[in-house]
Amino acid sequence: DPARAESDLRKAIEIRGKKNDPLDDQLPITLLRVAQMCDKTDRYEEAAKLLEESVEKYAVQNRNDVMVSFPLVMLGDIHCKMGHNQEAEKDYLRALKVLDAFERPNSPRFSLALKQLVMIYKKTGQDQLAEKYQQRLDSLAPMGK
């Protein structure tokens, strides 16, 4: 039952939040899971807030590793769905920076972020940037296409 699962995850977030443990590595993941549920039911504003909180929790932990790319790419997706292209662009660029630092250019998240940036740049008439990121996408191994 999705409603029950979401309710249980929200309780877990509340309990973890009361502990106020900045090093709680499960809290950002739990926030991400609830955001996914919100996304599936078109509650984009709520999903965006949860994802922003997830990214903030990783920042408090000084984690700028591959894990933070999950909420960043999803946040970019949510911002696209909401028509907030500038915010989406920032999210995807930040995710790419993180993934680049950890040498994951062939990860599905990396490819997705590149594809979404190309789409945003085409939609906003920034053809040179669209071409730049399309070339980068085309240079990836077949898995990334």
pLDDT tens across 96-109, in order?
Answer: 998 888 766 677 88
**CA-to-CA distance for 31 and 29, rounded, in angstroms?**
5
**CA-to-CA distance for 65 and 72, rounded, in angstroms?**
11
pTM of the full structure: 0.86
pLDDT for 24 equals: 84
Report the SS3 class of residue 110. helix
Q: Is the pLDDT of residue 144 over 50?
A: no
Q: How confident is the model at residue 85 (pLDDT cuts 50, 70, 90)?
A: very high
What integer is the mean pLDDT of 11-26? 84
Backbone conformation region of residue 27, classed left if phi is above 0, alpha if psi is from -120 to 50, else beta: alpha
Closest CA to 98 of 75, 78, 79: 75
State the burial class of residue 132 (Cβ atoms within 10 Å of its Cβ: 0-12, 13-18, 19+): middle
pLDDT for 77 equals: 96
For the chain, the 3-state helix, strand and coil shares in percent, each to the nearest 5, are 80, 0, 20
Q: Is the pLDDT of residue 5 over 80?
A: yes
pLDDT for 105 equals: 66
Q: Is the pLDDT of residue 143 over 70?
A: no
